[in-house]
Structure 1
Amino acid sequence: MSGAVRWRRAIVSVVLWWGGLSLSLWLLSRAAGQPTVPARCAASAVLLVAVGEAGDWLRRRWRAYRRSRSTRLPPA
């Protein structure tokens, strides 16, 4: 997979997560009877998506680090 395709797929994924989360937050607040503005729900969704993506990135880096440590030979 080329770099451009990988970036495009990542961007589309984040945008879809953001849109779905924004809509979910807005619907939940409407169902709870709270006054809401879609822009505020979208801003909250941006924060949640950013934290989630950062956590996923850290998880993948940590897993790669552990795998590289387990395949190294001990010093002789």
Structure 2
Amino acid sequence: MTGKPHLGRLAVSLAIWWMLIAFVLWIVGQAADQSASLVQCAASSAFLVAIGEAGDWLRRRWKAHRPTRRP
């Protein structure tokens, strides 16, 4: 069961990933002389984090429901 401490850790983890990816996108954009605002990078970062979390959720569901192989 998902408790409040687990949800708090998850929220903090997602926020840190979101900010880190947004900052990296912004820095890469500045280095490539294709500057985007930090707000645009944050929106792209939120999309990337959401896709990553959905993929992780699907992977865990697939692994949980797949029958174990026995030799």
Gaps of 5+ in 2: none
Report the counterpart of residue 54 of structure 1 in structure 2: 54
Corresponding residue number in structure 1 for 2:3: 3
Contact 2:18 2:46 in 1 (8 A): yes
Q: Give 1 or 2: higher helix fraction.
A: 1
Aligned to 1:74: none
CA distance in 2, matches of 1:35, 1:23: 12
CA deviations over 1:34-53 (Å, ceiling 9, x no partner): 12100000000000000000
The two structures have a TM-score, normalised by structure 1, of: 0.84
2:49 paired with 1:41: no
Across the aligned residues of Structure 1 and Structure 2, the Cα RMSD in angstroms comes to: 1.4
2:68 to 66, 70, 74: 70
Q: TM-score, normalized by length of structure 2?
A: 0.89
Structure 1 moving runs of 4+ over 6 Å: none
Larger radius of gyration: 1
Aligned partner of 1:25: which letter? L
- Give the deviation of 1:7 after TM superposition: 0.3
Question: Separation in 2 of the partners of 1:6 and 1:25?
Answer: 28
> Alignment partner of 2:68: what SS?
helix
